[in-house]
Amino acid sequence: MNQNQTGKQGSLRPSKTAGWKQSTAVRWVLMFMFVLLFYFSLAPHLVPETYDIEEGAVSEKDIKAPFQIKDEKATRQAEEDAADKVDDIYSIVALRNDTLVDQIFVRIEQLNLDDQVTVQNKIDIYRNEIPGRYSEYIDSFVKLNKGKGTYNDTLLEEMAMIAKEQQYTIPEETFYKMPNLSAESLTEMRNVARDIVRKLTGEQLREAETARTQVAELVNASSLTSRTSREIVQELARFAIMPNKFLDKEATDEAKVQAKQNTPPVVIKEGELIVKSGQTITPDLYKLLVDSSLLQDKKNYWPQLGLLILSIMFIVVLYAYLHQSGSINGVKPKYNNSSLLMLWLIFLINIITIQIISLTQTDTAPYAGYLAPAALGTMLITLLLDMHLAIISSILFAIMGSIILNTGQHQIFDFQYGFVIIVVSFAAIFSIHRASQRSTILKAGIMVSLFGSLSVITLLLLTEQLERVSFIYSVAFAFASGLVTAVLVIGLMPFFEITFGILSALKLVELSNPNHPLLRKLLTETPGTYHHSVMVGNLSEAAAEAIGADGLLCRVGSFYHDIGKTKRPNYFIENQSNIENPHDTIDPKLSKSIIVAHARDGVEMLKGHNIPKPIRDIAEQHHGTTSLKFFYYKAVKQAEEQGLELTFTEDDFRYPGPKAQSKEAAVVGIADCVEAAVRSLRNPTVEQVEAMIHKIIKSRLDDNQYNECDLTLKELDKIAQSLKESVIGIFHSRIEYPDDVKTKERLA
């Protein structure tokens, strides 16, 4: 009872269960063990292996890439090769050479019309001025276009340099012929020269000389008839022709940069050899190992930190659930440190089985991962601990399985496996959480097989992985996984039940079989006690379920709670059919010793048949330290009749205990007393039954029998109500209802 609920009950119960199972220090050690389990089980898949090797040394083992690694040197070489393959880019510069032709002919025409200038002066002017117009035209073009974006500055500089290098030199005699040209001749010559220049510079020219060789032919084919005119036009046209296709260094450099950027990096794929055994570690190889954090002295600790945080997050999820459910604080007996240790072992076994299956996976056969019995842990937790804890654990199993079974090169999780694990885990939970026989495990395994196969088929259809062999193997492995899971669960259940003293529902149902040697002994040697035990089982199961306790444990515990009576069956009233009561002829103290011994004798018999401790506890604790008042008062009466002074007290006529340590033991004790009391009534009424139940509970409450279990007053009320309803249902034919009593009174 809780202190604030017991009223006059006194102090809290002593912590008899204190020890390692309730120790806070042990609890934190177990939490740390969970973190270590998560960390070291996932480390091989998330943290790359490191090597102790020096530059210039010979490697003693093959070193494989733990993940895809970029080869920086090879990548740079590939980029340089790609850049070298880029051809030079040439751009066209539209110089409009016909404009230069116009300028020259305009100048000649102006100067020829000037009579104040002598012929010799005109010749000198032509000789000095016309050659300079070539460079002036180019410079003015550069100045006009620079910075406008039509041509880049580098191209303009390249154009100016190349064009000036290819400038044509006009023969000296040509200048002597120019002063004698008339305005009409100049007009015709300008038109012809301009047309020829336009035609020849309309094509791409890297070398001006190529086009200049064609000028003479075009001039001869023109409309000019004067030989002098043709000669002058020919020289001036050659002079005006410039190259128009130039190396664009800026565009070429940009193309090379683009080629480098478009070059895919050279990578060493996951699992490929970086260093062969016996190979010397060159500087390049050493740098590659350093950059990949594969050397112990150059180790990158970020993955370890990330994995540690992930492991802590996993245990926080478990701790939060256990704390929220009250199990961490030991409120529920089966969720103490022993249960945490069992949970740790289940996680260990489940992870080991997944790890073993992961070793069979290859790049060509990743579907072998579907064979992993990932629902093994979920089924064990559901059967041995709690369904809701199994749901939380299945999520963690799915995350870890998606890491361990991952065969991808660019991802941490492969949620195809995670999805399958979630599906089969939930199928297992809902198939087995109400299991009552071992065959249920096999049925649950078949459900895991069916849902696992269905989930795999769904994934294969969604991802269009319909290659026949792969499809068949994937589905077959998923189906086989469920059967393997069932076999492993059936094999491991006895280990956990024996090692941790776990009373699973399956074990309880097995123990309730009437063919069990002890129950057959009870039935054949003490049929009255057997019938009493069965009735107590019916009453206690309903009462326990009314307060949320383990009803099945109460029922099975009731079957065995009086097994000790088989040693001296005739000394118990339910077995005294057609015989005298032996207690009438023996000393009350001896009667007391015989009666209280049945609890101790029962525990010894249960131990001899390896009956689990929770059932032994019920047999030992169901009477608590209650008093055998009948024999006490009988002893007092005999002493008074003989005129003897009392040398004993009521405490000498009490059961040795201990008091009930669990709700189940307390409920069985109440039901045991109520069943015996109701059976002793000849024609009980509903009011008598109700009053009797409350009297029994109050008597034990006043006697401090519930100080060492966590029953509350509210729960005791629920127990009383449940017992009343069950008694009325079981003894229906014997109980008189108010209307029946009134009828009998009227008849009387």
Q: What would the 3-class secondary structure string for 201-253 be?
A: HCCCCCCHHHHHCCHHHHHHCCCCCCHHHHHHHHHHHHHHCCCCEEECHHHHH
Where helices occur in 500-565 by DSSP H, the ranges are 505-511, 517-525, 527-546, 551-560
Looking at the predicted structure, is the pLDDT value of residue 696 above 90? yes
For residue 18, pLDDT beyond 60? no
Q: Which pLDDT band holds residue 71 (cuts at 50, 70, 90)?
A: confident
Query: Is residue 4's pLDDT more than 70?
Result: no
Q: What is the mean pLDDT of residues 173-201?
A: 89
pLDDT of residue 70: 76
State mean pLDDT over 174-182: 88
Mark whether 287 and 325 lie in a shared domain: no
- Residues 283, 143, single domain; the answer is no
Three-state SS sequence of 110-167 = HHHCCCCCCHHHHHHHHHHHHHHHHHHHHHHHHHHHCCCCCCCHHHHHHHHHHHHHCC
Cα–Cα dist 429/380, whole Å: 10
Q: What are phi and psi of 493, to 5 degrees?
A: -55, -50
pLDDT band for position 721 (cuts 50, 70, 90): very high
Q: Does 12 score more than 50 pLDDT?
A: no
Percent of the chain at pLDDT above 90? Answer: 34
What is the phi/psi pair of residue 9, to 5°? -70, -20
Boundary-marking domain end, from 467, 501, 535 = 501
Tokens of 303: 């993955």
Name the amino acid, one letter, at 320. A
Q: How many domains in the chain?
A: 4
Say if residue 94 is in the same domain as residue 61: no
* CA-wise closest residue to 190 among 226, 224, 241, 167: 224
pLDDT digits (tens, 9 = 90+) for 19-54: 788 888 998 999 999 999 999 999 888 876 666 777
**78 within domain boundaries:** no
589 domain residue, yes or no: yes
495 and 527 housed in the same domain: no
Same domain, 545 and 450: no
Alpha-carbon span 591 to 372, nearest angstrom: 62
d(CA 697, CA 547): 15
Q: Which of 480, 501, 522 is the last residue of a domain?
A: 501
Backbone torsions φ then ψ of 393, nearest 5 degrees: -65, -35
> Both 343 and 463 in a single domain?
yes
Task: Tell me, rounded to whole angstroms, the distance of Cα 363 from its chain centroid.
Answer: 22
Contact 204, 91 (CB under 8 A): no
In a domain? residue 135: yes
Residue 666 placed within a domain = yes
Q: What is the pLDDT of residue 732?
A: 57
- Please check whether residue 425 is in contact with residue 378, taking contact to mean a CB–CB distance below 8 angstroms: yes
> Domain holding 419: CATH number?
1.10.1760.20
Lowest mean pLDDT among 325-334, 493-502, 503-512: 325-334
Predicted local confidence at residue 618, as pLDDT: 94
pLDDT at 10: 32
Q: Does 292 share its domain with 436?
A: no
What pLDDT, on a 0 to 100 scale, did the predictor assign at position 543?
94
Q: Is residue 374, in this structure, part of any structural domain at all?
A: yes
User: Which of the listed residues 501, 536, 551 is the one where a domain comes to its end?
Assistant: 501
Query: Distance (Å, rounded) from C-alpha 623 to C-alpha 558?
Result: 12
Same domain, 283 and 195: no
Q: Give the pLDDT confidence score for residue 337 in this predicted structure.
A: 87
Average pLDDT, the chain: 85
pLDDT confidence tier of residue 331, bands split at 50, 70 and 90: very low
Whether 454 and 537 map to the same domain: the answer is no
Quick one: 341 and 285 in the same domain?
no
Whether 255 is covered by a domain: the verdict is no
Answer whether residue 654 shows pLDDT above 50. yes
Which pLDDT score, from 0 to 100, does residue 731 have?
A: 66
Q: Which pLDDT does position 180 carry in this prediction?
A: 85
Average pLDDT over residues 601-607: 93
Pairing between strand 90-92 and 245-247? antiparallel
Res 733 pLDDT > 90: no
| Paired residues of 586 in beta bridges | none
Q: 706 and 9 in contact (C-beta within 8 Å)?
A: yes
Q: Report if residue 326 sits inside a domain.
A: yes
Which tens digits make up the pLDDT trace of 441-455? 889 999 999 999 999
Range(s) of the domain holding residue 667: 512-747
The domain spanning residue 573 has which CATH number?
Answer: 1.10.3210
Q: Which is more confident, 18 or 709? A: 709
| pLDDT of amino acid 327 | 46
pLDDT digits (tens, 9 = 90+) for 681-695: 777 788 888 999 999
The two three-digit tokens of residue 414, written as one number? 């492969």
Mean pLDDT of 366-389: 91
Statement to judge: residues 66 and 125 lie in one domain = no
Q: What band does 435 get if pLDDT is binned at 50, 70 and 90?
A: low
Residue 44 makes CB contacts below 8 A (sequence gap 6+) with none
Contact status, residue 656 vs residue 600, Cβ threshold 8 Å: yes
In this structure, the answer to whether residues 652 and 709 fall within a common structural domain is yes
Report the predicted TM-score, pTM, of the whole model to 2 decimal places. Answer: 0.63
Q: Which residues contact 557 (CB under 8 A, 6 or more apart)?
A: 540, 614, 615, 618, 619, 622, 664, 665, 668
pLDDT of amino acid 67: 64
Whole-number pLDDT of residue 79: 87
- Is position 83 within any domain? no
Task: Output the six-digit token pair for 678.
Answer: 């109701």
